[in-house]
Amino acid sequence: MAQETASQDVDQMSDEALQREYADLREESVAMSISDEESVAMSISDEESVAMSISDEESDRLADLWNELTRRSDVQQPKCPECGARDWGFSDHIECRDCGYGTHSEEDELRQDIQSAWNRIMHGEWQ
């Protein structure tokens, strides 16, 4: 599925196509990453697991899809405690895209709030 729309510009895709391709890419990547039990035991989110297991090309496509999903969404992500921005990303950890502040394991509430916002974006709280 992800390969079928890979050449299509994200800004031209329907909301449903964006969600579907993002979910498919993410699901494929999670399947290639560490097991769910290990992820829970290590307190690693799905997004962090995905970031550790995909190619640069897949990562770029996932980022393009995600940026378009967040652009279309009404969901406000939590504020960064350092700079106040509401733009979180993930690589091998969750971090503020504006200042680079990375969440720490003791910040479970912030991490959960970010994950909750990401889930609402993924499931279509649109403008």
Which tens digit of pLDDT belongs to each residue from 58-87? 888 888 888 898 888 889 999 999 999 999
Residue 100 reports pLDDT greater than 90:
yes
Task: Read off the pLDDT of each residue in 92-110 and give the average, rounded to a whole number.
Answer: 88
**pLDDT at residue 109 in the model:** 92
As given in the structure block, the two tokens for residue 34 are 């560490």
| pLDDT tens sequence across 118-127 | 889 888 765 5
**Is residue 88 within 8 Å of residue 114, measured between CB atoms?**
yes
Which residue type, as a one-letter code, is found at position 61? R
Residue 37 reports pLDDT greater than 70:
no
pTM: 0.65
Burial of 103 (C-beta count, 10 Å sphere; 0-12/13-18/19+) = buried
Residue 45 reports pLDDT greater than 70:
no
Q: pLDDT band at residue 113, thresholds of 50, 70 and 90? A: very high
**Is residue 49 within 8 Å of residue 33, measured between CB atoms?**
yes
**pLDDT at residue 60 in the model:** 86
Helices (DSSP H) in 33-107: which residue ranges? 36-42, 46-51, 56-72
**pLDDT at residue 86 in the model:** 94
What residue spans define the domains of the chain? 13-122
